[in-house]
Amino acid sequence: MWKRKYRSGQLGYHLMMAPGMIFLIIFSFVPMFGIVMAFQDYVPAKGILGSQWVGLTNFEYMLQIPDSWNILRNTVLIALGKIIFGTIVPIVFALLLNEIRLKWAKRSIQTIVYLPNFLSWAVVAAIVINVFDYHGPINSFLQAFGHQPIMFLASNDWFRTVIIGSDVWKNFGYGAIVYLAALTGIDPGLYEASSIDGANRFQQLLHVTFPGILPTIMLISALNLGNILNAGFDQIYALYNPIVYETGDVIDTYVYRVGLLGQQYSFATAIGLLKSVVSFTLLIAANKLSIKFANLRIF
Amino acid sequence: MKKFLTLFAAVLMLLSVLSGCKMGSNQSSNSKSVASPQELKPFGKYKKTVTYTIGKATPGIPKLPKGQTYEDNAYTKYLKDTLNIQSKDKFEAQTGDPYDQKVSMAVASGDLPDIMAVNADTLRQLVANDSIADLTDVYKSSASDFIKAKYNSYNGRALKAATFDGKLMALPSTQNANIPTMLWIRQDWLDKLGLKAPKTVDDMEKVLTAFVKKDPGNNGKGNTVGLALSKSVGGNYGSLFVADNIFATYNSFPRQWIKQNGKVVYGSTTNETKQGLSKLADWYKKGLIDPQMAVRDSIESLIISGQAGAFFGPWWSGDYPLNSAIKKNPKANWKPYIISKNGDGKITAYTQNPVSEFYVVRKGFKHPELLPKIASAINDKLVREDKNYKPVVDFVRGGYDGGKPLNVMINFNDATAQMYKDLKATVDGKKDPKSLSLDDSTSYNNIENYLKNPKNPDPNAWSGYTSRIVAGKLMANTPIKEVNPVFFDQTKSMKLKWANLVKLEDETFLKIVTGQKSVNDFGTFVKQWKSTGGTQITQEVVQAIKEK
């Protein structure tokens, strides 16, 4: 009887969780066995069991070439930039939008800015390429003020900025929705009380609104930390070229190019393993820090 | 519940492991053909339709007739009629990077089409993987004598490139001589500005400067591109948009293993290459080379739109991409010229492997003989016996492209020179037009059409005449000092290190030309190239040459 009750109560939840778990097992746990390839000279026909064992050769070579440090640096910088600006911009936008009194304006702005989120990078990249083209609108604008045109997508000074900027542009509208929802959850009584105390709009924003959504901000940032080394393969792949390998090549694009196109499966696995090790370290550190300073456990 | 979940997870894992095993094991099944002796003959027709899957490389500018598709057009119909076979496209991708990427993905996933084209690196990989069929027997039984004679005209070098441990693993497309590449230039722009055709690199600089400064094509200020140049800059034999002609005037041969002062060196690392790069960098700085070359996706469209004034390309540039350029603007009069060091028209150029790409058959495919049969049908029966087959004749005459399911091209070693001689003789009335092959007789018709109305020619007539008579003559008459690279193969260390060295090379060349790196950084590049594997690979190459 007890057993039956337990089952009928839990089965539904387990079923709901099942697709996610299956996904996780197939795409995250099973491939982990493939790490063995990093220590082999992997030949697909011979398989993992038949390929020759080469020990640390791939890792030695990884340390030998300057590319490794370069792509690691690019990955961290681009990912950090995306996390930082991808958090600040939606918050500021949500706060500003919240101050608009015209309901229809608020709604239509919100809808318009979150549209790009639904386009794939292949499409957005075409837009970005046109906008930042040598003869594109941005350069025409610069030229009107007497600047020399800039090749944004072929310039190591600008490439990361364009990548982070376009990513923020694409996603901030969607990100803002969460904060807008959090804003509606703030007790209107607090605003009334503060206005009776003589607070102006800006002071209300600073002392009522912002503290009200702080827990949401912390939660979203903590969740974003999991992506610290995912700098966005599809975006960068669609926008980069050999000139900006120096500043734009990240671990994922490198692994794709060298491993799948260059067919160096073992070497690419070794680089991929580097990514796992670094992001593992960063995550543990972030968790420790957030427990210590914010008293918030990520896991 | 817990038990159930554990069990579930266990079953899942087991399944995934099993499916992994399956992938490994089904490749080793044997690939003996199931065809009857009659069907094994080069032109033997199958009783039942045989369907085969291919990796289809489509042309950069799609040009199929209306209503035809890559799976259903004049050529597939011909193969259906003569051999009773039908192709299905496992994937379709544009020739070049997109196609190579699809192939790499197919190789990595182990899910190969029955027949596809691969490059030399991938061929080696596939042989090592044991995932393609041995074609030794089916080549003997199912390739026509004429095809065998064509391959034999290379003294065995063509098939040797596809032979591993005495087994023929692929049928190569032959690469007959494609040098010299020429400078194709807008004659109408030259005329408009009153300039003479360039003969030396310095002449060329003057012409390009005039093009960019004076905008003879009315593209608007700053929109005219002098020289259209590929991202890889140089070192791709007989291809479009590379500056090999300029490098050669400095005796530089990028991306080739050559002998210099008795020592084997990699051409990209020589001092001569540095000089060539510095010339290009100088031009880029002066705005003579496409300022957007690093991010340019389609150089063809730059030329078709009429923005570019010049590019380097082989004799067939008149067909591709210029045919489309003339269609767009009949006034765009492109003409080929030879650029030589001191203007005497004598040039230096490197030669190449007699093969360009390799056609392979998936191991386990029941009809490995299809490949030699298709190759024979397209390169022998169709161009000789069936050269009046109406659908294909219409296709070729219409100037269409991309119909053949497999682009396997097998020609005699001296095919281009022979083609020019045949056509010239026919035009001069010394040869009967009826004796020409399908391609040549199509070209002959185009040339005749052009000669009837040279003022206002049809684009196909223009292409036929420009490629085969104007450029063909330059090819036949330009004296070439040939530099023969000494090594085309791969060594042991290349497997791990070559891709990164190539990347380093591509990146450095492009950066030096576009001014993101100074020419003086060339030394740093050479040092880094050597220390990250170049020295070791050079030693292996020297060793391999000794053992040959």
The pLDDT profile of chain B, 548 residues, written as one tens digit per residue, is: 445 544 444 444 444 444 444 443 344 344 467 778 888 888 888 888 999 999 998 887 778 888 888 989 989 999 999 999 999 999 999 888 888 888 988 888 888 999 999 988 889 888 888 889 999 999 999 999 999 999 988 888 888 889 988 899 999 998 877 778 899 999 999 999 999 999 999 999 999 999 999 999 888 878 899 999 999 899 888 889 999 999 999 999 999 999 999 999 999 999 999 999 999 999 999 999 998 898 887 899 899 999 999 999 999 899 889 988 998 998 899 999 999 998 888 999 988 878 888 999 999 899 999 999 999 998 888 888 888 888 888 888 887 888 888 988 898 888 888 888 889 999 888 888 888 887 888 889 889 899 998 888 888 899 999 999 999 888 888 898 989 888 887 788 887 888 889 888 988 999 999 998 999 999 999 999 999 999 999 999 999 888 76
User: For A53-74, what is the mean pLDDT?
Assistant: 87
Cα gap B349→A36, rounded to integer Å: 47
Structure tokens at B33: 């053909």
CA distance B312 to B336: 9
The pLDDT assigned to A298 comes to 65
* Ordered structural domains, chain B, with CATH: 33-175+354-397 (3.40.190.10), 178-350+414-548 (3.40.190.10)
Which residue matches tokens 């939008």?
A97
Element (H, E) at A171: helix A159-184
Calpha distance B12→B5 (Å, rounded):
10
**In 10 A of CB B170, how many CB atoms?**
27
Burial per residue of B253-292, b for 16 or more beta-carbon CB atoms within 10 angstroms, e otherwise? bbbbbbeeeeebbbbbbbebbbbbbbbbbebbeebbbbbb
Per-residue pLDDT tens digits for A106-128:
889 988 998 999 999 999 999 99
Average pLDDT over residues A191-213: 88
Distance to chain A for B429, nearest Cα, Å: 52
Question: Is the Cβ–Cβ distance between B403 and B77 less than 8 Å?
Answer: no
Q: Which residues of B touch A155 (CB under 8 A)?
A: 516
User: B342 — phi, psi (to 5°)?
Assistant: -120, 25
**Residue B93, strand partner residues:** B57
Q: Distance between terminal CA atoms of chain B?
A: 68
A126 touches chain B (CB under 8 A): no
Q: For B451-459, which contacts have Cβ atoms below 8 Å and span 24 or more sequence positions? A: B451/B427, B456/B330, B457/B330, B459/B323, B459/B324, B459/B326, B459/B327, B459/B330, B459/B399
- As given in the structure block, the two tokens for residue B272 are 């001569």
Q: Hey, which residues does B483 pair with through a beta bridge? A: B350
Closest Cα to residue B228, out of B284, B190, B174, B277?
B284
A285 touches chain B (CB under 8 A): no
- Top pLDDT among A242 and B288 is at B288
Asked if the Cβ–Cβ distance from B503 to A10 is below 8 Å, we say no
Map residue B94 onto helix, strand or coil.
Answer: strand
- Looking at residue B310, its pLDDT comes to 95
d(CA B472, CA B191): 23
Region A202-220 average pLDDT: 85
Inter-residue contact B228 to B214 (CB < 8 Å): no
Torsion of CA A189, A194, A196, A197, to 10 degrees: 150
Tell whether domain A65-294 is in CATH 1.20.1290.10: no
Q: How far apart are CA A122 and CA B301, in angstroms?
A: 20
CA A237 from chain centre, in angstroms, equals 15
Render pLDDT for B259-315 as a digit per residue (tens, 0 to 9).
999 999 999 999 999 999 999 999 999 999 998 898 887 899 899 999 999 999 999
Judge: A258–B500 Cβ closer than 8 Å, yes or no: yes
Which two structure tokens, joined as six digits, stand for B157? 């070098």
DSSP-assigned letter for residue B345 = S
In this predicted structure, what is the pLDDT of residue B271?
95
Instruction: Specify the pLDDT at position B21.
Output: 40
Lookup: tokens for B20: 């992994």
Mean pLDDT confidence for A270-298 = 80
Tell me whether A156 touches chain B (CB under 8 Å). Answer: yes
Coil vs helix vs strand at A93:
helix
Find the angle CA(B426)-CA(B378)-CA(B80) to the nearest 5 degrees. 130
Q: Are A48 and A40 in contact (CB under 8 A)?
A: yes
Phi, psi of A223 (to 5 degrees): -65, -35
CA atoms within 13 A on the CB side of B522: 19
Residue A120 has a pLDDT of 92
Shortest distance, CA B108 to any CA of chain A (angstroms): 7
DSSP letters for A201-256:
HHHHIIIIIHHHHHHHHHHHHHHHGGGTT---HHHHHHH--GGGHHHH--HHHHII
Judging contacts by C-beta atoms under 8 Å, the chain A residues touching residue B497 are: 61
Q: What is the mean pLDDT of residues A176-205?
A: 88
Report the DSSP beta bridge partners of residue B63.
B401
Cβ pair B108:A11 closer than 8 A: no
Helix, coil or strand: residue B350: strand
Task: Name residue B480's beta-bridge partners.
Answer: B347
Chain A hits for B121, Cβ within 8 Å: 263
DSSP B230-279: -TT-S--TT-TT--HHHHHHTT--TT-EEEETTEEEEGGGSHHHHHHHHH
Question: Once rounded to an integer, what is the mean pLDDT over residues A91-99?
Answer: 89
Asked if residue B351 lies in contact with residue B484, where contact means CB atoms within 8 angstroms, the answer is yes
| pTM for the full predicted model | 0.78
Residue in chain A lying closest to B506 (CA): A242
Per-residue model confidence (pLDDT) at position B1: 44
State which H helix or E strand residue B476 sits in.
Answer: helix B472-477
Residue of A nearest to B22 (CA): A47
Residues in chain A, overall count: 299
CA distance A45 to chain B (A): 4
Say how many CA atoms lie within 13 Å of A92 toward its Cβ.
7
Complex confidence, ipTM: 0.73
The rounded distance, in Å, linking the Cα atoms of B412 and B149 is: 8
For residue A64, give the chain B residue with the closest CA. B532
Is A235's pLDDT higher than 70? yes
Cβ contact (<8 Å) for A45 and B291?
Answer: no
Cα A162 versus chain centre, distance = 15
Q: What tokens appear for B295 in the block? A: 């991010």
* Predicted local distance difference test score (pLDDT) of residue A218: 78
Look at residue B18 in the predicted model and tell me its pLDDT. 40
Q: Omega before B65 cis (within 30°)?
A: no
A25 chain-B contacts, CB cut-off 8 A: 9, 12-13
Q: Does A107 touch chain B (CB under 8 A)?
A: no
Task: Quote the pLDDT of residue B14.
Answer: 43
Domain ranges across chain A: 65-294
Distance CA B191, CA B207 (A): 11
